[in-house]
A and B are shown apart, each in its own frame.
Chain A
Amino acid sequence: MKEYTLLLFLALCSAKSLTGPSYFTLKNMMLQDMEDDDDDDDDDNSLFPTTEPILPLIPFDLFPTCPFGCQCYVRVVHCSDLGLTSIPRNIPPDTRMIDLQNNKIKEVKENDLQGLTSLYALALNNNKIYKIHPKAFQPTKRLRRLYLSHNQLTEIPTNLPRTLAELRIHANKVKKIPKDVFKGMKSLHVLEMSANPLNNEGIEPGAFEGVNIYHIRIAEAKLTSIPKDLPSSLLELHLDDNKITGIEVEDFNRYKDLQRLGLGNNKIKEVENGSFANIPSIREIHLEKNKLKKVPPGLPELKYLQVVFLHSNHIAKLGVNDFCPTGRRKKKALYSGISLFNNPVKYWEVQPSTFRCILARNSVQLGNFLK
């Protein structure tokens, strides 16, 4: 006890606290869209909220320290590029964002995220993660953004926090989006699942039931047709670099609000009549690098369509009414971008009035067909 009293005395009268860069004031951009609740310690900007020697009565480490080699400031813990093989312990419990990218982490264990109830964003991309414990995310009751891209995951982790707004699992080994995997995740808005060996059968019926995702990207996968069971809330759908062979009428039945559609670099030969009538709000369609022989039908009816990429296809002829409406039917937005280069069609055979509803002359790229 005598010793402790002395320590207290020493601490009070002499301990010079670490003069870290206490003015690291910048707000992390990644965090700017989160609710600013309980922000009582926003001025605690020290880079190292580690054990100050001012610890009367308890002479040993009680306060969590910043993991060695990491930087901790404004509740952001930076531990990228450290060669870590596991998630470090003693992460400050008030942490809102952890950057663990580019390490050698293999596993997210049951207690790795224990106590991190304020965690808002977790970047685990570019590791060697093949296993995530089903209870690992249980403590993270506020997690909004989870980055798992470039890992070895063979399935979407189960029991993800229902608070997630953004989930990125690019370049893993996921073959399946099982039924109910996103169940209850009402705020999930962005899903990036590209570069996984996913085929159409892998997307189980009901996988997206009850979720309101606005932006899905499943590019560089093994899709042969447009999946029909994606959420009906979709505004953006990106399926570039797949093996989709055609577009059928019922493909877009559910996606009435779609505004941007990316289907570049597929094997699309034909777009069935009436397919696009289901997506009246569409603004941008990318169909470049496909096998289309003609301009897809139904474009003039799309009042808001402004960008159509059709370059690098097999289009040999353009009809005068392929893009623009006739008569009094008005477009509500003029085309700002139509690309047609690298098609067999010869520009001198295109009627100028084909493009009577474009915004400016340079909105159309015809170019020459390179043999």
Chain B
Amino acid sequence: MRRLALLLVLLLPACLAKPFHQQGLFDFMLEDEGSADMAPTDDPVISGFGPVCPFRCQCHLRVVQCSDLGLEKVPKDLPPDTTLLDLQNNKITEIKEGDFKNLKNLHALILVNNKISKISPLAFAPLKKLERLYLSKNNLKELPENMPKSLQEIRAHENEISKLRKAVFNGLNQVIVLELGTNPIKSSGIENGAFQGMKRLSYIRIADTNITSIPKGLPPSLTELHLDGNKISKIDAESLSGLTNLAKLGLSFNSISSVENGSLNNVPHLRELHLNNNELVRVPSGLGDHKYIQVVYLHNNKIASIGINDFCPLGYNTKKASYSGVSLFSNPVQYWEIQPSAFRCIHERSAVQIGNYK
């Protein structure tokens, strides 16, 4: 009897309406000026089939905004045309296999500030167009294998990553930006040539970790290398060899006491070098002959004297770019002991900050 009643319910087609669909609800967020005055219609027209915007999230223009909702898992039934999914500041612990199914058009996935410790190896498989993956502030012990080949940017700051394996990065030919700062990475945890597979890698940041040397086998495409706040004790020339495109090198807040001769020769297009807050006792060699260097931070070191040719080339100025910033303050060197001609190739006086040693 009850079954019959239920059947009747199911057969009640008379008042069948299409399921709730939020389409158009946020169309007024279009940036045209007139949109502000657009009032919602008096009689909501329920139209179109398709997944609903998850409750409490905001969906507009294919951006699904679900941050700060206390979510413990990825919401189901996300609109399949979503291009950006923002799930930051929730309590998601795990990314499961089917969590992103159908999201073929997703370009950016923001999972920052959750409690993710586990990502199913197949979770990202449907995301054929994913370009940006933000995993910072989670509990990941390792980056997942099988990340989409379309990725251009990976950020995994502040996790528990200790190992960087070649297999994880291999084939990620489109990655341009890789940010891995504030992780318990040791030099021994970085597999030889781990990054070599990333042919387009341009920016890498491994700051505030436990590495003791510059990782070897960095791809020649690199233009920025940020390794500040580590435990690196010296710069050896070999680790920079082949980095002919490197323009910015950040190595401040390490314990670097020496820079091997020839290191700067290996990075001929370097523009900016940050070596402040280290243990250097002299200005790194090779600056005088370097053609493009513009900014050199050397403050907070143990530099006791400055040679007349430390910064500028011998003889006529062969530099192709002039220094715009040289910082030397908080070093034992006394400014009255520096020959003014040490800075003869620097055109702007304020470019040099000497200061006093306290």
Contacts and interface: CB of A to CB of B under 8 A. Distances in A.
A333 B223 contact: no
Given A26-B107, A334-B17, A170 B89 contact: yes
B136 interface: yes
A259 interface: yes
Secondary structure type dominating chain B contacts: loop
A149 interface: yes
Nearest to B200: A21
B125 to A, nearest CB: 21
B195 interface: no
Given A257-B40, A352-B2, A68 B9 contact: no
Interface string B52-74: 00011010111100011010000
Contact of A334 (B15, B70, B137, B205): B15
A88 to B, nearest CB: 14
Interface in B1-59: 2, 5-6, 8-10, 12, 14-20, 25-26, 28-32, 35-37, 39-40, 43-44, 46, 55-56, 58
Of the four ranges (under 10, 10 to 19, 20 to 34, 35 or more), the interface on chain A belongs to 35 or more
Contact of B202 (A20, A81, A235, A304): A20
A186 B36 contact: yes
B36 A360 contact: no
Given A29-B83, A144-B31, A149-B68, A68 B248 contact: yes
A24 B55 contact: no
A19 B245 contact: yes
Nearest to B177: A71
Interface string A12-39: 0011101111001010111011110000
B324 A149 contact: no
A144 B33 CA distance: 12
Interface in B320-348: 320-322, 324-325, 347-348
A283 B44 contact: yes
Interface stretch (A47-55, A129-137, A222-230, A270-278): A47-55
Given A10-B320, A336-B20, A357 B15 contact: yes
Interface of B: 2, 5-6, 8-10, 12, 14-20, 25-26, 28-32, 35-37, 39-40, 43-44, 46, 55-56, 58, 60-63, 67-68, 70, 83-84, 89, 107-108, 112-113, 131-132, 136-137, 152, 155, 157-158, 176-177, 179, 181-182, 200, 202-203, 205, 207-208, 221, 223-224, 226, 228-229, 245, 247-248, 250, 269, 271-272, 274, 292, 294-295, 317, 320-322, 324-325, 347-348, 351
Interface of A: 3, 7, 10-11, 14-16, 18-21, 24, 26, 28-30, 32-35, 47-48, 50-51, 53, 55, 59-61, 68-69, 71, 78, 80-81, 83, 101-102, 125-126, 144, 149-150, 165-166, 168, 170-171, 186-187, 189-190, 192, 194-195, 212, 214-215, 217, 220, 233, 235-236, 238, 240-241, 257, 259-260, 262, 281, 283-284, 286, 304, 306-307, 330-334, 336, 352-353, 355-361
8 contacts: A21-B176, A26-B152, A29-B108, A50-B272, A190-B58, A212-B37, A220-B70, A333-B19
Given A21-B200, A26-B131, A61-B325, 9 more contacts: A59-B347, A68-B248, A68-B274, A69-B205, A170-B67, A190-B29, A233-B39, A304-B46, A356-B12
